[in-house]
Amino acid sequence: MPPNTVALIGAGRVAHHLGKQLHANGWQVVQVFSRSLHKAVELAAIVGAQPLDDLQDLTDSAAVYLLAVSDKAIAEVATQMTHIGNKLVVHTSGSTPSTVLAPYFERYGVFYPLQTFSFEREPDFSSIPLCLDASAEADLDMLKQMAQSLGGPQYVLKDDDRVMAHLAAVIVNNFTNHLYHIGADILAQHDLPFELIRPLILETAEKIKHHHPALMQTGPAIRGDEITVNRHLAMLKGIRPEWSELYKVLSDSILRTKKDRSGS
Amino acid sequence: MPPNTVALIGAGRVAHHLGKQLHANGWQVVQVFSRSLHKAVELAAIVGAQPLDDLQDLTDSAAVYLLAVSDKAIAEVATQMTHIGNKLVVHTSGSTPSTVLAPYFERYGVFYPLQTFSFEREPDFSSIPLCLDASAEADLDMLKQMAQSLGGPQYVLKDDDRVMAHLAAVIVNNFTNHLYHIGADILAQHDLPFELIRPLILETAEKIKHHHPALMQTGPAIRGDEITVNRHLAMLKGIRPEWSELYKVLSDSILRTKKDRSGS
């Protein structure tokens, strides 16, 4: 088989975007597996591959097998793929150790795109960091070549480091989005439009393109403006006590971080 | 005096950007006050105004007096401006009631740009929401005209609503930036570059241009993935216990919000 062949295990958001981008950049996607046949068919049609809903139909026709499934499905799927022989099998998970694949395959690794994907948005792969790892040097080279086809910056990260990167990602993505959600809810409860804070959300993110967030912190907490902080805590208690607790924990953390930085 | 005249009280980030933009859009900035003369001189030179470091030198030559000073300085500055006579005086604070100006002026209001400003970045005023309020209808019209010169969307918000918008702003700006800071610190402590999560930070914000954050939430907390959540809590305890508490409060809040939405 040619070296630039890949099989996609999974047809969710990550499989969808990785598959499309590999297909567009010289990789032949030979098979697409999903437990939902219609999902496999849909993605397979886009990338010109054979759809499967039974892993027993997975052949040895690919050089790389990309496991783009949920974390908890990785091991289960792996157990049903052992018939493919001596092939390179990689998962796309930030938080799962590569060694979860070791009982099933001799050649294994990780191909983790550190980005949030949705069906509604086309990702810009030229800016998506790809975190790579492999059990053998030659296989790492193959993953580097695959990453190069996608166009983004690449990082070789061992399990411990990748898990840390994933933790940081959860904090700046999931938690940040939750703060957006709370902001939107506060406005909605007072019949104010979300549009009021959308430009601020964008600017807050844009700022860190060129500046470290430590230098960009403003607001009542870091100013030590207790009057405003206490007024906000009281307001939130009236809206939703849980948000008041969250405000307090975050404000305390901002102040403590400032004290640590200034060495006091 | 012509109607499009303004005096700037303050020479910080907000005064700087508002002053420059008004100057560029047909407003004559007549005087700039700052307690630091060099700051007044610097901004006055940019906007073609007279610099002051003594409020007694403030004349009645402007139609609007913009108080772009820190929240706690507003009342103090106002007490020293009463000699200007029957002029419109507005502050630029999200969290301060307009009525703080009532003891000193008959005509008062608020001109609050809901954005984060820094000296390092040129703001795009066409997207900055301007929150307006005034004690008299004719003065509100003047503020609307001033807002129109700046080019952004305008909202007339009473004190209670503006204070809510400011609270939402603190949450999506200050707290989000703190999460960026924590993400950067976690990476730095493991010798990993901040560049790993910069694209994710941007995409997380870009997503809400067209989608409500409630629909964009992903990650271990909303999936109810306790294994990953507990692993992250343990990792953070080893790095900085305060971050572990913060992770827990935020994850619990994500789960509770999901339950409330689904009505369970």
A-chain residues within 8 Å CB-CB of B182? 168, 171, 253
A38 Cβ under 8 Å from any chain B Cβ: no
| pLDDT, tens only, A2-20 | 679 999 999 999 999 999 9
Q: Which of B182, B203, B254 sits opposite A171 (nearest CB)?
A: B182
**In this complex, do B201 and A116 lie within 8 Å of one another by their Cβ atoms?**
no
Closest C-alpha to A34, from A64, A14, A62, A4:
A14
**Cβ(A49)–Cβ(A29) under 8 Å?**
yes
Whether A197 has a pLDDT exceeding 80, the answer reads yes
Sheet holding A107-113, edge to edge: A50-52, A28-33, A5-9, A64-67, A88-91, A107-113, A130-134, A154-156
Q: What pLDDT score was predicted for residue B258? A: 87
Q: What pLDDT score was predicted for residue B263? A: 67
Bridge-partner residues for A109, per DSSP? Answer: A90, A134
**In this complex, do B129 and A196 lie within 8 Å of one another by their Cβ atoms?**
yes
Which CA distances in Å does A134 have to A149, A162, B85, B200?
18, 13, 76, 24
Q: What pLDDT score was predicted for residue A36? A: 97
Contact residues, B window 15-34, toward A, CB-based 8 Å cutoff:
none
A234 Cβ under 8 Å from any chain B Cβ: no
Q: What pLDDT score was predicted for residue A258? A: 87
| pLDDT, tens only, B228-248 | 999 999 999 999 999 999 999
A170 Cβ under 8 Å from any chain B Cβ: yes
| DSSP code of residue A50 | E
Q: What is the mean pLDDT of residues A28-44?
A: 98
What percent of chain B shows pLDDT beyond 70? 98
**Helix B241-262 with A241-262: angle, nearest 10 deg:** 160
Confidence tier at A130 by pLDDT (50, 70, 90):
very high
Residue A191: how many CB atoms within 10 A of its CB?
8
Confidence tier at A261 by pLDDT (50, 70, 90):
confident
Maximum distance among all Cα pairs of chain A, rounded to whole angstroms: 69
| pLDDT, tens only, B201-212 | 999 999 999 999
Q: What is the mean pLDDT of residues A209-237?
A: 94
> Cα angle at A120 between B176 and B171, to 5 degrees?
15
**Helix B176-189 with B241-262: angle, nearest 10 deg:** 130
What percent of chain A shows pLDDT beyond 70? 98
Q: What pLDDT score was predicted for residue B120? A: 86
Bridge-partner residues for B33, per DSSP? Answer: B9, B52
Using DSSP's 3-state secondary structure scheme, residue B13 falls into: helix
Q: What pLDDT score was predicted for residue B5? A: 97
Q: What is the DSSP string of A213-243?
A: HHHH--SHHHHT-HHHHHHHHHHHHHH-HHH
| pLDDT, tens only, B108-155 | 999 999 999 988 889 999 999 999 999 999 999 999 999 999 999 999
The nearest CA of chain B is from the CA of A21 a distance in Å of 18
**Cβ(B132)–Cβ(B147) under 8 Å?**
yes
Mean of the per-residue pLDDT values for chain A?
A: 96
Question: End-to-end CA distance of chain A, in Å?
Answer: 63
The nearest CA of chain B is from the CA of A44 a distance in Å of 25
Whether B91 has a pLDDT exceeding 70, the answer reads yes
Closest C-alpha to A189, from B260, B73, B69:
B260
Mean of the per-residue pLDDT values for chain B?
A: 96
